A and B are shown apart, each in its own frame.
Chain A
């Protein structure tokens, strides 16, 4: 410490305690974790867009490449205009709103959508177009469902078409990852996932309004969307685990803790479903063990400050709890209608097993919000799960 610093230190030691506190309080001013995370992403994108510190002057090579792209677009637009205004134009336009089974549907898939993909000049636009087409397949299913046009004969081809287009979307998103554009890949992947989730809900609503036969067919289609949703979520997980280490540093403790709380809420839902179920197979028990162990592992990661790793683990938990919730809901619908007494009996078998002995998994704090009434009448949720897993 040099002389100047020593002088200051002596001076500070003489400062009133409140002034020390004042400095400490002032140091607490900071950006919110979300502001910091978003700022870092914006800054990262800015650096990628301006690798040489140039913003407005494009190199001659870039300009000529741009011209080439423009020319290619002009040719494509001319082709589309020709088709629209010429003899085939009306057909192409009419094909746009066609549905599977319609005569023009083949033109929609093989001409319209292929042209649209050809016009997408970079990988990001191609990924967006692929996702748009995948969503279009689902919207077609919704329209067919509304018009009662889904039957045994087209059920399989619809499922295949949904799976194929979703696969294409995922492949295009992963291409972005290969090119290193992880942020765009995660953005498109999340949009796709949200859209799939919303359409799944739409289809549930439509199914509710249908009679038994139509409802069963729609349930199968909904399951197919759910599979695509899981596949999309897996793609996102892969992308998120590929975030650079620098970006992971930016995931704060608060963000990781929020993710943990959200997973614990999900677990509570599962526990409620466990209580209602009478038939829990070994596979489900194994899934539950994996989920609880992963939550514990993520807690440990948070404790040692590995927030990025914890978030990735917790997203895996979210994915698995969603899948399990779906599975339970199906079982419970059957249970409620056919064997309510058995369900209650199985639930009651858990009660005597509730005791003070806890397993490692009970370190997951999942009972905080249980009400007194609940705990008086039925075993608390962790007790249910832990009894089950013993």
Chain B
């Protein structure tokens, strides 16, 4: 059991940041993202310790559970699927306005960058996020989302095109 605990501690060390980022991308709430990340690890531990799941890739299981927690939260909030839109974020006092006087990137911090990617409509935004921010391979993305590798490839492709459009519109 101690070996399993060490494996999980190592996983925590490696994946707590990416899972936290994933939850933040989905929820746009830092504190909630932190809680969801922690819950992701405890839930995964409970499942593995009870031997309810056979783990081939702990990373994929962690993403899957984090994704399920987020979906539950969406259901709780009464909205399905999509992450918080920028309109919602603006309502919450979040501002991604771009100052045209300087370089656009000078105005963007990590959180704003994530929120810009969240502007890409689903499921393309998630595909771009998982591929480029989380650095996942297509097969890992396929395992997490349940879609085929080919589908994920198309989604990433489409997501990047949408992001280019968003970016160009903001620069005008």
Mark each residue of chain A from 1 to 26: 1 if its CB lies under 8 Å from any CB of chain B, else 0: 01011011001100110110111011
A43 at interface, CB cutoff 8 A = yes
Q: Are A247 and B108 in contact (CB under 8 A)?
A: no
Q: Are A18 and B149 in contact (CB under 8 A)?
A: no
Q: Are A35 and B34 in contact (CB under 8 A)?
A: yes
Residues in B with CB closer than 8 Å to A29 are 17, 20-21, 24, 110-111, 114
Known: A8-B131, A46-B42. A21 touches B105 (CB 8 A): yes
Q: Which residue from chain A places its CB closest to the CB of B134 in the assembled complex?
A: A27
User: Could you tell me the distance between the alpha carbons of A132 and B36 in the complex, rounded to whole angstroms?
Assistant: 38
Q: Are A25 and B105 in contact (CB under 8 A)?
A: yes
Q: How far is the CB of A13 from chain B (nearest CB, A)?
A: 11
The range of chain B's interface size is 35 or more
B48 at interface, CB cutoff 8 A = yes
Known: A4-B149, A43-B9, A246-B10. A53 touches B114 (CB 8 A): no
Residues in B with CB closer than 8 Å to A2 are 138, 149
Q: Are B24 and A43 in contact (CB under 8 A)?
A: no
Say what secondary structure dominates the interface of chain B.
helix
Q: Are A26 and B133 in contact (CB under 8 A)?
A: yes
User: Could you tell me the distance between the alpha carbons of A54 and B49 in the complex, rounded to whole angstroms?
Assistant: 9
Known: A21-B105, A25-B105, A47-B5. A5 touches B137 (CB 8 A): yes
A40 at interface, CB cutoff 8 A = yes
Q: Are A50 and B45 in contact (CB under 8 A)?
A: yes
Partner of B9, one of A7, A12, A44, A50: A44
Residues in A with CB closer than 8 Å to B169 are none
A79 at interface, CB cutoff 8 A = no
Partner of B110, one of A26, A31, A244: A26
User: Could you tell me the distance between the alpha carbons of A187 and B144 in the complex, rounded to whole angstroms?
Assistant: 39
B85 at interface, CB cutoff 8 A = no
User: Could you tell me the distance between the alpha carbons of A25 and B48 in the complex, rounded to whole angstroms?
Assistant: 34
Mark each residue of chain B from 136 to 160: 1 if its CB lies under 8 Å from any CB of chain A, else 0: 0110000000000110110011001
The range of chain A's interface size is 35 or more
Q: A residues 28-63 with Cβ under 8 Å of B? A: 28-31, 35-36, 39-40, 42-44, 46-48, 50-55
3 shortest interchain CB distances as A-B pairs: A53-B49, A53-B50, A4-B153
10 sample A-B contacts, Cβ–Cβ < 8 Å, listed by A number: A23-B132, A25-B108, A27-B135, A30-B21, A31-B17, A43-B12, A43-B41, A43-B45, A47-B8, A50-B46
Residues of B within 8 A of A (CB): 1, 5-6, 8-10, 12-13, 16-17, 20-21, 24, 34, 37-38, 41-42, 45-52, 104-105, 108-114, 116-117, 129, 131-133, 135, 137-138, 149-150, 152-153, 156-157, 160, 163-164, 167, 171
New A-B contacts (6) at CB < 8 Å, excluding given A25-B108, A27-B133: A29-B17, A40-B9, A43-B38, A50-B49, A53-B51, A246-B6
